[in-house]
Amino acid sequence: MEALFAVALGILAGSGVYLLLRGRTFAVVMGLTLISYAVNLFLFAMGRLHSGAASVIGKSAEYGDPLPQALVLTAIVIGFAMTAFVVVLALRSVGETSSDHVDGRESSR
């Protein structure tokens, strides 16, 4: 299960970096979102992947660590706010420059 999780994490991060390197604002926003999802999954994996373990400390000997869960919850909220800000910034940039390119140049298509 750890290998599958690591491959999924790598695909998310790789896709995010690829989209970040594109010239369009929507692709950059989607790349940032995918990288934030990859970071969230990485933080969640830091608390070890247990199936059937209690989420809080109880009578069971095996439990999930609540600190990575709290970090992921905080990162989700911050990531959502960051995505909303970048979308508003991109919309304003498109309105002012009438182009959706990150560097301000038109593509040669």
Q: Which two tokens stand for residue 23?
A: 């010239």
The DSSP secondary-structure symbol of 101 reads B
Question: What are the pLDDT digits (tens) for 19-66?
Answer: 999 888 888 899 999 999 999 888 888 776 666 666 666 666 666 667
Quick check: is 10 in a domain?
yes
Residues forming beta bridges with residue 63, ordered by sequence position: 54
Is 57 within the bounds of a domain? Answer: no
CA 62 to chain centre: 29
Domain count, the chain: 1
**19, part of any domain:** yes
3-state secondary structure of 97: helix
In a domain, 23, yes or no: yes
Let me know if residue 107 belongs to a domain. Answer: no
Span 59-100, pLDDT tens digits: 666 666 677 778 888 989 998 999 999 899 888 888 888 888
Which of 41, 31, 18 has the alpha carbon at shortest distance from 82? 31
Give the CATH number, domain containing residue 70: 1.10.287
Global pTM? 0.75
Which of 107, 51, 31, 44 has its CA nearest to residue 73?
44
Q: Quote the domain boundaries for residue 20.
A: 2-49+64-97
